[in-house]
């Protein structure tokens, strides 16, 4: 596929801004509304931001790493960018839909590319009840929190919480506890991507909990429903031979 019209987006770091200036001068810089592809210059934080902004446009996104981590980005190379775009491999990411009810009975909705996480708000541990597809699977989990992550998000907060890494096309979600206190040895679960997860916050007044969908936070929640939104498919482009699945393999076999 040819990508003739490129919309560049960059983080505010000097390195990213210089790269933006150089590439825009060479290839031109189009508005997103008329572009064939978005090239995001920065780190994974910028990529997450662009993915959210791009939901309404549905353009493929190619990342160039000028940040610190860049797991979702490609290396900066001084060669033909359009040729790299034309030969790139595609990975599709489906976000999670979160519906959270707070203690006042208000319902809040948000989308998460990486994960939906529940986090304790005070020194008191959170006490959660977890249901999957309408069946209670864990009566009581005492913890700092818990999260549901997509394959794309499995290498982010989920990995730091010792959750498993998922290939991008795994058709799975990971349910991972954060600093579980009881049951102490519970490491979480792998769920079918169609699974519907519900968290009920027990003793919510004594043990307040926040729900976070990527960067949208709802405080004092009492119930949170999480499910994959298959109606939305976001396309990430990776240099040939260096797809997201290949990076996931490398991450699991790192020495």
- Residues with a catalytic annotation lie at 44
Q: Are 155 and 137 in contact (CB under 8 A)?
A: no
Q: CA-CA distance, 186 to 52, in Å (whole number)?
A: 32
Strand locations in the chain (E): 6-10, 37-42, 61-65, 89-93, 96-102, 107-112, 115-120, 126-132, 135-143, 145-149, 172-178, 189-192, 197-201, 209-213, 216-218, 221-228, 234-238
Q: Which residues pair with 234 in a beta bridge?
A: 93
Phi, psi of 96 (to 5 degrees): -95, 140
């Amino acid at each position: 596929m040819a990508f003739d019209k490129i919309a560049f987006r960059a983080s505010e770091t000097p390195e990213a801004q210089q790269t933006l200036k150089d590439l825009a001068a060479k290839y031109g810089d189009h508005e997103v509304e008329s572009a064939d592809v978005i090239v995001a210059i920065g780190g994974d934080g910028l990529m997450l931001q662009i993915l959210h902004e791009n939901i309404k446009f549905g353009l493929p996104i190619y990342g160039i790493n000028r940040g610190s981590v860049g797991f979702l980005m490609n290396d900066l190379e001084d060669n033909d960018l359009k040729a790299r775009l034309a030969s790139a491999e595609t990975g599709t990411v489906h976000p999670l839909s979160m519906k959270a009810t707070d203690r006042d009975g208000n319902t809040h909705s948000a989308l998460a590319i990486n994960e939906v996480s529940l986090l304790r708000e005070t020194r008191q541990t959170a006490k959660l009840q977890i249901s999957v597809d309408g069946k209670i699977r864990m009566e009581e989990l005492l913890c700092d929190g818990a999260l549901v992550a997509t394959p794309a998000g499995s290498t982010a907060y989920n990995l730091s919480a010792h959750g498993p890494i998922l290939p991008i096309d795994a058709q799975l979600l990971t349910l991972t506890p954060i600093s579980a206190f009881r049951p102490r040895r519970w490491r979480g679960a792998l769920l079918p991507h169609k699974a519907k997860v519900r968290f009920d916050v027990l003793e919510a007044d004594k043990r307040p909990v926040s729900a976070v969908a990527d960067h949208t936070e709802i405080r004092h929640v009492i119930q949170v429903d999480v499910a994959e939104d298959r109606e939305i498919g976001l396309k990430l482009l990776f240099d040939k031979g260096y797809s997201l699945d290949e990076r996931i393999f490398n991450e699991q076999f790192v020495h």
